[in-house]
């Protein structure tokens, strides 16, 4: 049986999503992707620029992500060799005189930097109106190369987002005492600042300080001062309505000209990652409450929910994210 494709999936927040790590899309690579309950093809043109298109060929519906090949900056369908440029327009039908004007695929704005391939999904077809900033530490030799992890989990984006406002879970889930906690909303960004106390890997108490900024609804960059200074990427992208892919990246500051033993780096990277994944066991089994019963010490949960809703402009009638 063939595949089904919904033209308009469920409501998704408009913004930049991390659709692949750069390292996973090799030179002129082609990758099928499934996000938001829909199929896409991600490929890297010969110029090195990645492109993201809807997956199914407008001709007879082959999936470009399975057997599609790259020529220049276009991708060629494995079935009858129609080619499509990175803007989705059909550029060539090798056996036809004329290209039908409608021959094209939806193309999504793509950016690549800091080891991330980001794509803009919009409910109403809006163009990108903010950027995910470049992580400058990654081009500084005092910092270790970024380590990457990903995990597929059965939850929805709102649960992941809510984590930044949920003051009371830090002690219980992460064994961190927070002395100072603040969430600031600045347009498309939600900035969480914390000062607290945790433990190093020898279980000695040490101060912990972090600034974790969501740049839009799905990509968070964190600067963390713990046993080492660290920079973290944390992003999620929905696969289906009730399943998402969580991606996590971490780099630590070893120091100028310092080579830390690999085991030390690995242990701190793992600890940072595992701290984040501690939430997963809760998320996978919980219920989303639209009207939770809160107490005033719970943190700015309503404020963050309101911010997240701002990424849901009214959908255009036939818009796909």
Residues in contact with ligand FES by CB under 6 A are 57, 59-62, 77, 79-80, 82
> How near is the Cβ of 46 to ligand FES at its closest, in Å?
20
Q: Which of these ranges, 60-68, 137-145, 159-167, 210-218, lies near Fe ion under the rule CB under 5 A?
A: 159-167
Name the minimum Å distance from CB 34 to ligand FES.
Answer: 19
Of the candidate spans 14-22, 68-76, 277-285, 297-305, the one that interacts with Fe ion by CB under 5 A turns out to be 277-285
Measured at the CA of 188, the angle between CA 223 and CA 14, to 5 degrees, comes to: 115
For residues 109 and 12, give the distance between their C-alpha atoms in angstroms, rounded to a whole number. 16
Nearer to ligand FES, 105 or 161 (CB): 105
Give all strands (DSSP E) within 205-273, no chain letters: 205-215, 219-225, 229-240, 243-252
Which tokens sit at 226?
């713990």
C-alpha 74/C-alpha 181 separation (Å) is 49
Interaction of residue 163 with Fe ion, rule CB under 5 A:
yes
Shortest CB 109 distance to ligand FES, Å: 24
**Distances 233 to 261, 276, 312 between C-alpha atoms, Å:** 23, 11, 23
**Shortest distance, CB of residue 164 to Fe ion, whole angstroms?**
8
Cα distance between residue 209 and residue 198, in whole Å: 10
CB of 15 to Fe ion, least distance (A): 21
Rounded to an integer, what distance in angstroms lies between the CA atom of residue 88 and that of residue 83? 9
- Confirm or reject binding of residue 176 to Fe ion (CB under 5 A): no
- Smallest distance from Fe ion to CB 153, Å: 13
Residue of 55, 123, 119 whose CA lies nearest to 318: 123
Q: How far are the Cα atoms of 16, 20, 243, 312 from residue 34, in angstroms, in the given order?
A: 16, 11, 11, 21
d(CA 197, CA 212) in angstroms, rounded, equals 16
Nearer Cβ to ligand FES (102/262): 102
Contact string 191-230 vs Fe ion (x = CB under 5 A): ----------------------------------------
Minimum CB distance to ligand FES, residue 64 (Å): 7
State the pairing for strand pair 189-199/205-215: antiparallel
- In the list ligand FES, Fe ion, none, the entry touching 276 (Cβ below 5 to 8 angstroms by class) is none
Contact between 162 and Fe ion by CB under 5 A: the answer reads no
Where does residue 240 fall: left (phi above 0), alpha (psi -120 to 50 degrees), or beta otherwise? Answer: beta
Q: Closer to ligand FES at the Cβ: 61 or 125? A: 61
CB of 107 to ligand FES, least distance (A): 16
Which listed option, Fe ion, ligand FES, none, makes contact with residue 31 (CB within 5 to 8 Å by class)?
A: none
Given ligand FES, Fe ion, none, residue 301, with its beta carbon under 5 to 8 Å by kind, binds: none
DSSP string, 112-178: EETTEEEEEE-SS-PPP-S-PPP-GGGG-TTBPPPEEEEEEESS-HHHHHHTTT-TTHHHHHH--EE
Residue closer to ligand FES (CB basis): 63 or 247? 63
For residues 68 and 157, which CB has a smaller minimum distance to ligand FES in the complex? 68
- The only residue of 279, 300, 319, 320 in contact with Fe ion, by rule CB under 5 A: 279
* Binding site residues, Fe ion, CB under 5 A: 163, 279
């Amino acid at each position: 049986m063939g595949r089904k494709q919904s033209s308009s999936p469920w409501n998704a927040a408009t913004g930049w999503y991390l659709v692949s790590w750069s390292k996973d899309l090799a030179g002129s690579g082609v990758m099928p992707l499934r996000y938001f309950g829909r199929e896409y093809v991600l490929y890297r043109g010969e110029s090195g620029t990645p492109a993201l298109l809807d997956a199914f060929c407008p001709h007879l519906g082959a999936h470009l992500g399975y057997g599609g090949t790259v020529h220049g900056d276009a991708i060629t369908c494995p079935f009858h060799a129609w080619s499509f440029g990175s803007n989705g327009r059909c550029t060539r039908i090798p056996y036809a005189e004329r290209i039908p004007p409608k021959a094209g695929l939806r193309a999504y704005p793509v950016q690549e930097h800091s080891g991330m391939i980001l794509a803009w999904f919009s409910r109403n077809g809006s163009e990108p109106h903010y950027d995910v900033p470049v992580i400058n530490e990654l081009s500084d030799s005092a910092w270790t190369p970024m380590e990457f992890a990903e995990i597929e989990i059965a939850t929805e984006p709102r649960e992941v987002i809510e984590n930044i406002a949920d003051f009371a879970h830090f002690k219980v889930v992460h064994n961190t005492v927070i002395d100072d906690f603040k969430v600031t909303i600045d347009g498309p960004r939600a900035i969480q600042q914390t000062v607290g106390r945790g433990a190093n890997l020898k279980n000695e108490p040490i101060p912990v300080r972090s600034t974790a900024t969501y740049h839009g609804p799905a990509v968070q960059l964190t600067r963390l001062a713990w046993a080492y200074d660290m920079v973290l990427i944390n992003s999620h992208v929905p696969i289906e309505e009730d399943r998402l892919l969580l991606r996590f990246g971490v780099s630590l500051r070893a120091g100028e000209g310092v080579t830390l033993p690999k085991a030390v780096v690995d242990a701190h990277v793992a600890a940072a990652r595992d701290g984040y994944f501690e939430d997963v066991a809760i998320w996978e089994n919980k219920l989303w409450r639209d009207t939770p019963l809160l107490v005033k010490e719970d943190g700015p949960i309503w404020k963050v929910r309101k911010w997240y809703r701002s990424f849901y402009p009214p959908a255009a009638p036939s818009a796909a994210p």
